[in-house]
Amino acid sequence: MMGLLTRLRKLCDFKDRATAAPRIRTGAHLLGIAGLVLCLACGGASSLNAPGHAQGGRDRRAIELGLRRPDGDWIHLGDLRGQPLFVFLFATFDGVSQASLRPLSRFRRTHDDVHMVGIAAQPDANQLLDPYERALQPPFPLTYDPQHDVHHGTSVLGRIEQIPTLIVYDENGFEVERYVGFPSERTLERLYDEAR
């Protein structure tokens, strides 16, 4: 970044009037490129979708969604009522999703009164989920939507803004909150308190 600033300073030095106009145009191009690099480095996200952003519950219908396990079994989220439910939307290729498994696993191991289900929100989940689950061995089931409605944003979960996303439901199956990004253990405890 310092090299870019030094170049910009040299471009703005107008000792030679004949080369001033081309230097200004080049400087404007460099400023545009610097702005683009800065946006990309920051993730290009708005404050609404910034990592670690919590959003209030969206849908006032109780959750009903059938999901497939890698072994072919089905999990119906509507059958998990009676306890708070944490739905972890992730992608097998996403590093933040993989890192999020650590605090989620610790939380799940210490909270027997919570259901937790992972959903791979990606088009090729049926092919990649089994080796992913065997390698990482989370203490909660990982699933996928065989209809690809979750991935396309047309399921009862609605549009998924970013991956990873944690959707928290109360014991009656109603959405309490969505959390986007890496969940700390403190955040998980707060979400747990809100779901009870």
Residue 61 is predicted with a pLDDT of: 80
| The residue count for the chain | 196
The DSSP bridge partners found for residue 166 are 88, 179
In this prediction the pTM is 0.72
Same domain, 117 and 163: yes
Same domain, 75 and 151: yes
Say whether the peptide bond before residue 131 is cis (omega within 30 degrees of 0).
Answer: no
Into how many domains does the chain fold? Answer: 2
Same domain, 86 and 35: no
Residue 10 is predicted with a pLDDT of: 54
Look over the chain and give the mean of its residue pLDDT values, rounded to a whole number: 81
Same domain, 31 and 81: no
Same domain, 24 and 51: no
Same domain, 114 and 22: no
Same domain, 87 and 150: yes
Place of tokens 């992913």: 132
Check residues 140 and 16 and name the one with the higher pLDDT.
140
Same domain, 7 and 92: no
Sequence-ordered alpha helix ranges (H) in 72-124: 95-110
Domain that residue 174 falls in = 47-195
Q: How confident is the model at residue 9 (pLDDT cuts 50, 70, 90)?
A: low
Same domain, 60 and 119: yes
Same domain, 118 and 78: yes
Q: In Å, what is the CA distance from 66 to each residue of 37, 50, 90, 93?
A: 42, 29, 17, 23
Query: What's the CA gap between 132 and 153, in Å, rounded?
Result: 23
pLDDT higher than threshold 60 for residue 23:
no
**In what order do the strands lie in the sheet containing 115-120?**
53-56, 175-180, 165-169, 85-90, 115-120, 142-144, 66-68, 74-76
Q: How confident is the model at residue 45 (pLDDT cuts 50, 70, 90)?
A: very low
Same domain, 12 and 63: no
Same domain, 72 and 155: yes
Each residue of 136-180: pLDDT tens digit? 999 999 999 999 999 999 999 999 999 999 999 999 999 999 999
Average pLDDT over residues 96-115: 97
